[in-house]
């Protein structure tokens, strides 16, 4: 029938809590074929799911459109996105399921309707919409309505360096760490920087990104559970535009225009000082969200 892919994503980017996210050139892929009965399978690999949670997210995406019924198809999934590392794996899974369902029902579900479905699945738009639409997305939820958002093309020449430490920080626990209330000074600090961050992406002028990616809402609280984060946030290097915890962590994302190997090395060293193994990946910012390609007939 068809092949479909969905990008990983990085959310928050510092102050853009539940608001700003970017799509990354690291793609969850699935091949959908006709079958005698419905099946969901996973290819083996280092990031293949080890429990039902990832499959459940795909199923939730399917159910959002199909309900409890399932068509006679097989969905064969290949996942390269590290699970539970703040790179939008659950959002990609939900978007995958919803996008498959949207394609096989009649009439096909619109992109606008999908923005609401995937935001509802994830609970917030900052990972879900970049996974669906690609690029950089700034979004606000509107109660039960579809989210309001603006999507920007990735700035030319910008790469993302992702440091993935070998520690666990489940999203639910990372959210539970955060306080119920914030000081007015901290709220103002984040409003200023989130506004500057959105304006930077909208204008294409990234010269203020280092300041714009500052945060007092979540990173100071999560730093105690991500040894090495504080050191990463202090890295200074030519070509470095800005650096932040990726989503709820524990991965850390740096945006840069050059000097990638040195920046990646500094990020690894920040975790090594705490005796934490860490790998770094250099990724593009994906222009493409959900991508569907028809399979050639046998």
Number of helices (H), then strands (E), in the chain:
10, 11
Distance CA(223)–CA(250), nearest Å, equals 9
Q: Is the previous residue joined to 250 through a cis bond, with omega within 30 degrees of 0?
A: yes
Region 18-40: mean pLDDT is: 97
Residues 123 and 201 in one domain: no
The four Cα atoms 264, 131, 152, 200 give a dihedral, to 10 degrees, of -40
Residues 183 and 280 in one domain: yes
Let me know: does 169 contact 251? Beta carbons within 8 Å. Answer: no
Residues 31 and 111 in one domain: yes
Region 76-82: mean pLDDT is: 97
Q: Where are the alpha helices (DSSP H) in the chain?
A: 53-66, 89-104, 111-122, 125-133, 171-176, 184-203, 209-212, 219-222, 229-233, 260-272
| Per-position DSSP letters for 230-266, written without gaps between them | HHHHT---TTEEEEEE-TTSS-EEEEESS-HHHHHHH
What are phi and psi for residue 128, nearest 5 degrees?
Answer: -65, -45
For residue 123, give the CATH number of its domain: 3.30.230.10
Residues 130 and 170 in one domain: no
Residues 136 and 231 in one domain: no
Number of residues written out for the chain: 298
Q: Cα-atom radius of gyration of the chain, to the nearest Å?
A: 19
Owning domain of residue 68? 2-151+287-294
* pLDDT over 70 (residue 192): yes
Residue 171 — pLDDT band, cuts 50, 70, 90? confident
**The pLDDT value given to residue 106:** 87
The four Cα atoms 248, 17, 90, 31 give a dihedral, to 10 degrees, of -130
**Which of these, 129, 94, 101, 119, lies nearest to 20 by C-alpha position?**
129
**The pLDDT value given to residue 296:** 66
Region 113-119: mean pLDDT is: 96
**Which of these, 156, 143, 98, 123, lies nearest to 248 by C-alpha position?**
123
* pLDDT over 80 (residue 143): no
Owner of token pair 């039902």: 52
**The pLDDT value given to residue 275:** 97
Q: Is 95 helix (H, G, I), strand (E, B) or coil?
A: helix
**The pLDDT value given to residue 49:** 86
Region 54-68: mean pLDDT is: 97
Residue 168 — pLDDT band, cuts 50, 70, 90? confident
Residue 175 — pLDDT band, cuts 50, 70, 90? confident
Residues 134 and 185 in one domain: no
Residues 51 and 133 in one domain: yes
Residues 178 and 204 in one domain: yes
Residues 103 and 239 in one domain: no
Let me know: does 85 contact 164? Beta carbons within 8 Å. Answer: yes
Distance CA(229)–CA(222), nearest Å, equals 9
Residues 146 and 7 in one domain: yes
Q: Is 4 helix (H, G, I), strand (E, B) or coil?
A: strand
Region 97-108: mean pLDDT is: 93
Residues 134 and 181 in one domain: no
Distance CA(185)–CA(164), nearest Å, equals 32
Structure tokens, 268: 């690894």
Let me know: does 256 contact 158? Beta carbons within 8 Å. Answer: yes
Residues 88 and 177 in one domain: no
Structure tokens, 199: 């304006």
Domain count, the chain: 2
**The pLDDT value given to residue 114:** 96
* pLDDT over 90 (residue 273): yes
For residue 274, give the CATH number of its domain: 3.30.70.890
Residue 172 — pLDDT band, cuts 50, 70, 90? confident
């Amino acid at each position: 029938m068809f092949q479909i892919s969905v990008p990983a994503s990085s959310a928050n980017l510092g102050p853009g809590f539940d608001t700003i996210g970017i799509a990354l050139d690291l793609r969850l892929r699935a091949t959908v074929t006709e079958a005698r009965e419905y099946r969901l399978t996973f290819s083996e690999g280092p990031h293949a799911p080890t429990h039902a949670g990832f499959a459940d997210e795909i199923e939730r995406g399917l159910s959002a459109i199909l309900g409890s019924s399932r068509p006679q198809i097989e969905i064969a999934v290949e996942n390269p996105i590290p699970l539970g590392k703040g790179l939008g794996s659950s959002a990609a899974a939900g978007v995958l399921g919803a996008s498959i369902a949207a394609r096989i029902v009649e009439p096909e579900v619109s992109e606008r309707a999908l923005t609401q479905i995937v935001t509802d699945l994830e609970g917030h738009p900052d990972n879900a919409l970049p996974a669906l639409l690609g690029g950089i997305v700034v979004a606000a939820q509107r109660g039960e309505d579809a989210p309001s958002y603006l999507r920007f093309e990735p700035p030319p020449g910008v790469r993302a360096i992702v440091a993935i430490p070998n520690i666990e920080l489940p999203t639910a626990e990372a959210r539970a760490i955060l306080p119920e209330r914030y000081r007015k000074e901290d709220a103002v600090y984040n409003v200023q920087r989130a506004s500057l961050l959105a304006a930077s992406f909208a204008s294409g002028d990234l010269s203020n990104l280092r300041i714009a990616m500052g945060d007092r809402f979540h990173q100071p609280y999560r730093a105690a559970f991500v040894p090495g984060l504080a050191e990463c946030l202090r890295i200074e290097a030519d070509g470095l535009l800005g650096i932040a915890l990726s989503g709820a962590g524990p991965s850390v994302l740096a945006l840069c225009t050059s000097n990638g190997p040195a920046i990646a090395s500094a990020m690894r060293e920040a975790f090594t000082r705490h005796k934490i193994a860490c790998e770094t990946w250099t990724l593009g910012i994906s222009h493409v969200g959900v991508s569907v390609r028809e399979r050639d007939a046998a």
